[in-house]
Amino acid sequence: MEDVAIIFTPWKKWLNRKSFEDANDQGVYLLAHFKENEIPVGAASPLDPNIIYIGDTRKQTLAIRWSQFNRAAQNGAAGHAGGRTYYKRFGPLKKELCVAFFSPPSMSSERIRSFYIRYVESKLIWKYSQMHKPDKLCNKS
């Protein structure tokens, strides 16, 4: 099986994340801080230096996982380790927070698709850490 092209959605402000049509699927998501007039246009780059988190969800939908991040990042609550780290570093959610995601197509089985999602997340974290300071990410090691 060949790798699927990894193309992310355009960036959206965190407050507008519910307007994504495919947010009820699983996949890999990117979180970044951008000033209002500096949000890139077109497909999000997983190597953008403004990225602060690369995450995945394989059992829950993106919308559910984002809700967990939102709660943890807003007040440090349990439920999303990256959200708790965000809160410790930045305080409550910043208005500059943006999100983009990649959801792979159906595969031969849901288990294979789940493995692929985990692979993509790990691959992107590895590539990001080679190009930028990995300590910037709110991901656990």
Residue 3 scores a pLDDT above 80: no
Confidence band, pLDDT 50/70/90 cuts, at residue 1: low
Q: Averaged over 66-86, what is the pLDDT?
A: 94
Residue 62 scores a pLDDT above 70: yes
CA distances from 85 to 41, 76, 113, 115, 125 (A): 28, 8, 28, 25, 16
What pLDDT, on a 0 to 100 scale, did the predictor assign at position 2? 64
The pTM for the full model equals 0.94
What pLDDT, on a 0 to 100 scale, did the predictor assign at position 118? 95
Q: Averaged over 21-42, what is the pLDDT?
A: 94
pLDDT in tens, 99-126: 999 999 888 889 999 999 999 999 999 9
CA distances from 89 to 9, 28, 38, 73, 79 (A): 26, 22, 22, 10, 17
